[in-house]
Structure formats: structure tokens, C-alpha cells
Amino acid sequence: MRAEQPARKKLQALRRGALAEYRAAFALILKGYRIVAFRYRTKLGEIDIIARKGDLVACVEVKARTSLEASVFAVSNSAQRRIRSASDLWLAKQPDAARLSLRYDIISVRPWRWPVHLPDAF
């Protein structure tokens, strides 16, 4: 019985994270971004959302937390390195890579609030 508790909590956390990513993607679309990739995974790391607006590519880390500060502090230096490494691999595969500019954003998704977009967060 106790073994089921951690599995259930993990499943709830995954669902909460997926819902937060969908809410963040919707907010970006309303701001004029086009979602290029969702949960982009490489052997070096993962990017929650890759969104594009013209020649600007935003690599977005989504955090579902109760406060904005908690969301920002939840993105550690090692997570930032993994996101940058994954974005380098993604960019290398793009035919128009030379004219694209990368930006690393955080979107904080809080309960019963509109997602807060923090451009150029790291």
C-alpha cells in the first residue's frame, strides 16, 4: 500500500507539470509566438517549449509553483546548462540557424492565475 503513494504523487506531479506546460503554450500563442517544439528531448537535456516569433527563438522552462520567486529559484544552474545544451543541438538542426537569435525564458504557472512570462530569464 505504501509503495503506491510515491507512485501516485509522481503521477500527479507529471500531470500538474503537463497542464502547466499547456497553459504556458496557450499564453505564448496569445502573445503571437508559434510553438515549434513541445517537450523537446535530447541526450543532453530537455526544453519544455520552443517558441518562435519571427527570427527570435524562445527556449522556455515552465515551472508550476505557488509563487513567482519559487518558480525562478527552481531553475538551477545545472538545469540552465542542460537547457542551453539542448537548445544548441536544436539550433544546429535548423536550416536558418544563422539568422535566428536564442533567448531563454521562464514561465511561472501559479494556481488560479494567468501564467507569468519572464523573457531573458537566464
Range name among 7-21, 26-40, 67-81 with the lowest pLDDT average: 7-21
Q: Topology of 4-118 in CATH?
A: Trna Endonuclease; Chain: A, domain 1 (3.40.1350)
**Under a CB-based contact definition with an 8 Å cutoff, are residues 45 and 86 in contact?**
yes
Residues 6+ apart with CB under 8 A from 11: none
Residues 6+ apart with CB under 8 A from 63: 20, 70, 71, 72, 74, 75, 106, 107, 108, 109
Read off the pLDDT of residues 3-17 as tens digits, 9 standing for 90 and up.
668 888 888 988 999
Cα–Cα distance list, 104 to 23, 47, 66 (Å): 18, 10, 22
Nearest to residue 62, comparing CAs of 103, 118, 12? 118
What's the confidence (pLDDT) of residue 2?
61
Read off the pLDDT of residues 82-117 as tens digits, 9 standing for 90 and up.
999 999 999 999 999 999 999 999 999 999 999 999
**Under a CB-based contact definition with an 8 Å cutoff, are residues 9 and 17 in contact?**
no
**Under a CB-based contact definition with an 8 Å cutoff, are residues 90 and 47 in contact?**
yes
Q: Measured between alpha carbons, how far is 18 from 14 in angstroms, rounded to an integer?
A: 6
Domain-wise residue ranges, the chain: 4-118
**Under a CB-based contact definition with an 8 Å cutoff, are residues 86 and 44 in contact?**
yes
What's the confidence (pLDDT) of residue 6?
83
